[in-house]
């Protein structure tokens, strides 16, 4: 596995990883969408591109196709947990708009807000 890019936006609270393989035609579009969404929502996050190169990488991240999107280690695609691990395959997302090659902006926003709300409740309850 190689980490090709790491962007930090303030204090790392939300960890975002885009899983991909280099021949994937979509992962750069997802990276742009995630960056824009982080800025719009003013979320403190780190964004990491994870190049899945080996079977071990695929198994470590439960890679079910490119591009995959993990937020704090959780795949935003709820169907991914039951999908087989692959090494080189494009991912299909079921969206309100039909089948897509990447998650919609709405899906990314919902996943980020859900994570942000969980982070806030942990801080409130901790002390």
Q: What is the pTM of this model?
A: 0.82
In this prediction, residue 120 carries a pLDDT of 57
pLDDT score of 2: 44
The total of other beta-carbon atoms located within 10 Å of residue 66's CB is 26
Low-confidence ranges of the chain (pLDDT < 70): 1-12, 118-127
Please, what CATH class does the domain formed by 2-122 belong to? alpha beta
Q: For the chain, which residues make up each domain, given as ranges?
A: 2-122
What length is written for the chain?
A: 127
Q: What one-character DSSP code corresponds to residue 120?
A: H
Instruction: Write the Ramachandran bin of 2: left for phi over 0, alpha for psi from -120 to 50, otherwise beta.
Output: beta
User: What pLDDT score does 55 carry?
Assistant: 95
């Amino acid at each position: 596995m190689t980490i090709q890019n790491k962007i930090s936006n303030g204090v790392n609270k939300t960890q975002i990883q885009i899983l991909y393989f280099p021949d994937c035609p979509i992962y750069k579009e997802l990276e742009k969408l995630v960056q824009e969404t982080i800025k719009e929502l003013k979320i403190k996050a780190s964004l990491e591109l994870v190049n899945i190169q080996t079977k071990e990488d695929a198994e470590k991240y439960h890679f079910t196709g490119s591009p995959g999107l993990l937020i704090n280690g959780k795949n935003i695609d709820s169907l991914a947990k039951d999908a087989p691990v692959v090494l080189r395959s494009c991912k299909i997302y079921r969206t309100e708009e039909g089948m897509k090659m990447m998650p919609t902006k709405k899906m990314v926003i919902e996943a980020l807000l859900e994570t942000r709300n969980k982070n806030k409740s942990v801080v409130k309850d901790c002390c």
